[in-house]
Structures are given as C-alpha cells and as structure tokens.
A = this chain, B = another copy of it.
C-alpha cells in the first residue's frame, strides 16, 4: 500500500466534527452543517453545541470531552476565548486536524498572537495540526466534503489555496463565466501551524486537481526555501498560478492587518515564483483566465502568435495586447497570404492578423479552417488567437446556408488544438454571459474569454510554462550548509569601510582590483605611481554610504600631481561637508573608465536564509531602482533569468561591441559574497556597487557591509 500523504486525513476525512453548531438556520453554526450535508458527505459527523439534542439526525454533544475519539477534522466555529480549551480536548482524544474558522488571533496584534501560539502549542503536543485560524474553511468536492458556509459550489478541476475568504467567494462566483469549477479549496488565513506549501504538496498528488491557483499575502517567515522546493517539484507535474496580495507599501500594511503576514519584497516573490515555475498574475481578474488557459491548453514553446478572427478594431487591439506581453505577431509569408486571398474577400487583411470580416456569418467553422490553414502552412507559429463578435452577434443568427451553427463549430477548435499540440485561445465580448457555444468551446479545450486583456495574460502564462517545462530537467541546485560562522575572527573585522569590506571579501576568493591605501596626499601620489594612470582617489570614511556626495571621490586623474591635488581637494570637501566625518586616509586604484556598471549583493530575508541581487549599478542605481533577486546558490541559469527580469535587460547582453555580462562569473561572485555573509550572523548584507564589466571579468570597485541589529552570538 502506498504511503498516505500527511494531509490525507484532512482532505479525505472519515469523521468530521463541527464545534459550535446552532439550531438557528440563519447562523453560521447551522449553515456549515447544511453545506456539509448538501455536499453529500458520507462519513461520520459529530456536533458540539450549547444545547443538547439532535440536529439533522446527528447528536449534539455539549461537552468537548464527550466527543468521539477518532475525529479526522474538527471544524471550529467557537469564539477565540473558548477555542483553545475545546480544541485541546479534541486533540487529547486523538483528533488529527482542526480547521479554525474563528478570527481574533495574530491578525489582532500581540495578545491575539500569544493566544494563537498557545493554541498551536497545546494542540501540536497531542499531535493535532491546525488550518488557519482566521480562515474561510476547506473543501474537497469529489470527496463530498464542504467545510465552508457556501452551498452549492461549482465543482471542477481547479484547486484554490487562499489566504483570503472573500477572494475565494469572488472566484467561486466568477468561475461560471469560464465554465470552471473547483476540486479542493483551503483557506489558510494566518497559517499559524501548517504552512501553505504543505497544501500545495498535497494537491500535487491529488488526481482530481489539474491546476492549482493561489492567493497569497505572505509566506510563513523562514519557509521560503521549503516552499520553493515543493513548488518546483509540483509545478513539473501540474501548473500553479498565484496572485500575490500586498505588493506595495500600504498593500503590505493591509496584508499585515488582514492575515498577520510579514512579507518579503515583491521582487523576492517574483524570483521565487519564476524559479519554481509558478505563473504570477498581478490582477485578481486574471487569476481565473490564466488558470483556465493553463488547465485547458498545451504550453507555448516559442514566441510567435497567429491572430485570426473577425473585426478590424478587435484585430488591432488583440495584436497590441499580444505584443505588450512580449510575444510576436510575425508577418505571414507571401504563399500563405496568397492562399488566404483565394478564401477571403479582397478587402480582408491577411498578413497576420487575418480579418475574415463578416464571412463567419455564412460559416462559423471558418475560425477553425482558417486557423488550421495558417498553422499548417507556418509550422513555426506557436499559438493562435481567435477573436470576433462570435456567438451572440445579431442574437446568434447565421446565414441560411451555414453548414454549422455556433455550437457545432466550437468543438472544431478544440480538436484542432489537440491535433496541433499548440494553444488556441478565443475572445468574444459576449463571453461574459453563458451560451452553449462558449461552453462547447471550453469543454473542447479552448478558453473563451470576455476580455482582450485575458488573451494577453493567458498567452504570457502559457509561454512562461513552456519555458519552465523546457528547463524542467535542469537539476535543482542544493543550498550548501551555511558555513560555520567564524565568529572568532569576526571581532577583529572592520565592517565600516570599503577597505575592511575588501579584506573580508578577499578571504572568500572574490577577485578584487589592486587597492592601495595612503594616509596623506603625498602618499596617495606615491601609490598612484605604482598603480598607473588614470587613477581614482577615494576618501576612507567609516560608515559613509555615498562618499561621492561628500566630495570624497575623484576620478580620471592623469598624473601624480593630479592625484596629490585630488587628495587635498577631498580633505577640504570632507572637512566642509555637513556632519562630522573622520577622514581615515585615501584609497588609490586604477580608473577603469566609463563602462557598464552593475550592482551585485547578498542579504538576509524574512522568507529565505539569504538571497542575491543583481541590477543596474552606478550613479543612477538608486533613481532607477532596477534590481532583480537571484535565488542562492546562484547558477549561471538563475543569473541569466534574473538579468532578463531587469528593465535594463538589453544593456547586459552583447551591446555596442561589448560582450554579454558573463553569468558564470556573476554566479560565482554572488556565491562568494554569500559565503562572506554567512560567516557572521551580525552581517545583514554585503553589496558591491559598482561592479565593472571588463571583458569576461567582473571587478567590484566599491564594497559595503551592513549589519543587522541583532547582537552577534
């Protein structure tokens, strides 16, 4: 017998207890029972309530200690004050899981957080694990299990894991527009005990689930590495799509007061999602269209899209949308345009997009036959978009001689998609209401969307999935055990200056430029004579992040006299600058001239042990704030993907005669910086800005270490 998943009894319980039932049919304490019965639950049901007796044929216990011993899932509706004692009693009698609907825990502040921690500790001590608290409930419709108050629910193949209940209610309502339904749902709320990735792990092996959708406000602190491992594995088997709430500053405040989520920065999630093969959407309205496309369509293995439909404006806007997500609408070859000319009126555009104008009125199967012609004659195309006033234009009336009606024409598109192994997606403005032709199209495998924006996000998702599956064989790099902190050395370290930072990095094999120090302008000139020209002189200023703002950096110095003058000038500038600064001397290095400059760094994070960053460096780095996260350990492939996420991506490829930024050495540098970071728990971050690109070498020409506020231990 195969081993059961650790959450098996949660999703497929034989025995459910409802704690806090009521005879009042308007109250939640009744509605949850009603929903469970409506779902057709065939296992045992135990009830706990204030008044003894029976409810819908089930005995109401009034004392938690009277409950049966073999409860799989105890669903808790009681107030926060009663919850701990009742759940502990259930746990003591062997209940495996509690789903805590009740709010009033960590999302309320310190007192609630203490109550939450006590509850988890008490229940875990008896081996019971907790979903929530402050959550919407859970369902597994194929199992006849519904632990939410909503009934009936649309059944189908989408699993939804949500930190928010009202987002879930919204999706259950909107799913009808997509002819979609749900297999399983978990509201994980404050995720006090079971972290979100365990649900993903379960759903990965659930045969009734074909795609997993997530609404996430924040991972549990420290759970990012495990989340990444599990999702990387599951997304190789089935698609995952996520909406991340709390992306900007006030949004993060909203998430914190909603589900007590302390969130990493958006770009950390962005890297985690891309690397784990999770498709991210940024609008709630995109979650279902993307889930639909990922569920129904094959992935896209290239960037080229054919657009075939009816209506010039829709055609133009569809093309804009496809291009706006980074895909291409290539012009068709002449032979194909000629073939189309034989089939369509002379005034119909045919170069891609193809506009059949009103011709579909006399045969709606033109959508599939023209699409088949186009995709067959251009095998390099990777997907097709169909669009038009389909289905309900003129109340669905077609020409008298049409060989098809809309309902019979629709499945031809699904059959074509299956034959081609390439996605086809459809847009019609009427798809916001139900119609048998739209349902027939969707059931045959072709998503039918009511917005052109959905076409863009759906194709982008299918392309991202195609890219991910193409590299799914890439081995997952293992994070090395963190180096044992060499705290003994740490006491003697100088973290406050560039010179000290260089000294630390040198111990971790980072290739550094020759840097000489000098305690006077004369000594600086002597140093530059040894190093050569043009030279750079910088002030040594402990704790100053931007030396150049104080006049502490002079570049392009052509001879010894210029160096000496520059060092004197620096002394004068620093002395005149506002604030008290201790000038501890000068560094002298070669000036590498004007080059592309990167910022490269590593830092600790609330979700991950540590992470790398790469981005646009130099004087504009802060203004442009164009930085991407690299998961550690860095690999050339991870670095290349991070560089591609940057707005400035084009600057890091081959560019005006300079070679592409080499991802291998950049990965090495990140891993070396990470080793330095891990050598001392007091270090919060290590950052090199700028790192200059000289051929295939990456040369840090400044470095800084920031400390966290924890005492080194």
CB closest residue in chain B, given A215: B313
Of B257, B259, B352, which one neighbours A250 at CB under 8 angstroms? B352
Q: Does A315 contact B (CB under 8 A)?
A: yes
- The answer to whether A258 touches B619 (Cβ under 8 A) is no
A246 CB–B CB distance under 8 Å:
yes
Q: Which residues of B contact A258 (CB under 8 A)?
A: 312-313, 315-316, 349, 355
Determine if A18 is an interface residue (Cβ-Cβ < 8 Å): no
Q: Is the CB of A323 within 8 A of B248?
A: yes
CB distance from A19 to the nearest CB of B (A): 19
Q: Is the CB of A620 within 8 A of B593?
A: no
Considering the complex, give the chain B residue whose CB is closest to the CB of A649.
Answer: B623
Min CB–CB distance A488 → chain B (angstroms): 39
- Asked whether, in the complex, the Cβ of B164 is within 8 Å of the Cβ of A313, the reply is yes
Q: Say yes or no: is A443 at the interface (Cβ < 8 Å to chain B).
A: no
| A519 interfacial by beta-carbon distance below 8 Å | no
Number of copies: 2
Does chain B have a CB within 8 A of A351? Answer: yes
Q: Is A624 an interface residue (CB 8 A)?
A: yes
Interface size on A, residues (CB 8 A): 102
Residues of B within 8 A of A169 (CB): 389, 393, 429
CB-defined interface of A161-173 with B at 8 Å, one 1/0 digit per residue? 0111111111001
Is A107 interfacial (CB-CB < 8 Å)?
yes
Q: Choose one: B315, B432, B548; the contact of A656 (CB below 8 Å).
A: B548
Nearest CB on B from A540, distance (A):
20
| Identity of the chain B residue whose Cβ is nearest the Cβ of A310 in the assembled complex | B166
Inter-subunit contact A284/B452 (CB<8 Å): yes
Q: Is the CB of B556 within 8 A of A534?
A: yes
Query: How distant is the Cα of A259 from the Cα of B317 in the complex, in angstroms?
Result: 13
Q: Which B residues lie within 8 Å of A622 (CB)?
A: 650, 656
The distance from the CB of A8 to the nearest CB of chain B, in whole angstroms, is 28
Q: Closest residue to A560 on the B side, CB-wise?
A: B558
- Does A546 reach chain B (CB closer than 8 Å)? yes
Q: Which residue of B lies closest to A597 (CB)?
A: B620
Nearest CB in chain B to that of A255: its residue: B316
**Does A174 make an interface contact (CB < 8 A)?**
yes
Asked whether, in the complex, the Cβ of A245 is within 8 Å of the Cβ of B317, the reply is: yes
Contacting A534 at CB < 8 Å: which of B248, B429, B558?
Answer: B558
Q: Chain B interface: which of A324-332, A473-481, A502-510, A599-607?
A: A324-332
User: Max chain B CB contacts within 10 Å: which of A315, A596, A616, A620?
Assistant: A620
CA distance A33 to B267 in the complex (A): 59
Known A-B contacts A323-B251, A594-B619, A656-B546; A170 and B285 likewise in contact (beta carbons under 8 Å): no
- Bound complex: CA A588 to CA B664 (Å): 40
A245 to B429, CA, bound (A): 17
Chain B residues whose CB sits within 8 angstroms of the CB of A174 once the complex forms: 429
Min C-beta distance of A628 to chain B, whole Å: 15
Given contacts A251-B316, A657-B549, contact A349 B257 (CB under 8 A): yes
- A518-542 vs B, CB cutoff 8 Å, 1 = contact: the mask equals 0000000000000001100000000
A177 to B533, CA, bound (A): 71
Say yes or no: B555 contacts A558, CB within 8 Å: no
B contact residues around A328 at 8 Å (CB): 250
A248→B164 contact, CB < 8 A = no
A250 with B319, Cβ < 8 A, contacts A170-B429, A389-B169, A429-B174 known: yes
CB distance from A367 to the nearest CB of B (A): 15
Tell me if A559 counts as interface (CB < 8 A to partner B): yes
- Interface core residue of A217, A251, A548, A594 (most chain B CB under 10 Å): A251
Query: A581 at interface (Cβ–Cβ under 8 A)?
Result: no
A644 at the interface (CB under 8 A from B): no
Is A320 located at the chain interface by the 8 A CB criterion? yes
Q: Can you name 15 A-B residue pairings with CB atoms under 8 Å? A: A112-B347, A166-B389, A167-B317, A169-B389, A177-B432, A247-B320, A251-B320, A251-B323, A258-B312, A283-B451, A284-B453, A534-B557, A548-B656, A555-B594, A558-B562
Residues of A within 8 A of B (CB): 103-104, 107-108, 112, 162-170, 173-174, 177, 215, 217, 243, 245-251, 253-255, 257-259, 282-285, 307, 310-317, 319-324, 328-331, 346-347, 349, 351-353, 355, 357, 388-389, 393, 429-430, 432, 451-453, 533-534, 546, 548-549, 555-559, 562, 591, 593-594, 596, 616, 619-620, 622-625, 647-648, 650-651, 655-657
A-B CB proximity, top 10 nearest: A558-B558, A164-B313, A556-B556, A166-B311, A258-B312, A257-B349, A167-B313, A623-B651, A248-B323, A250-B329
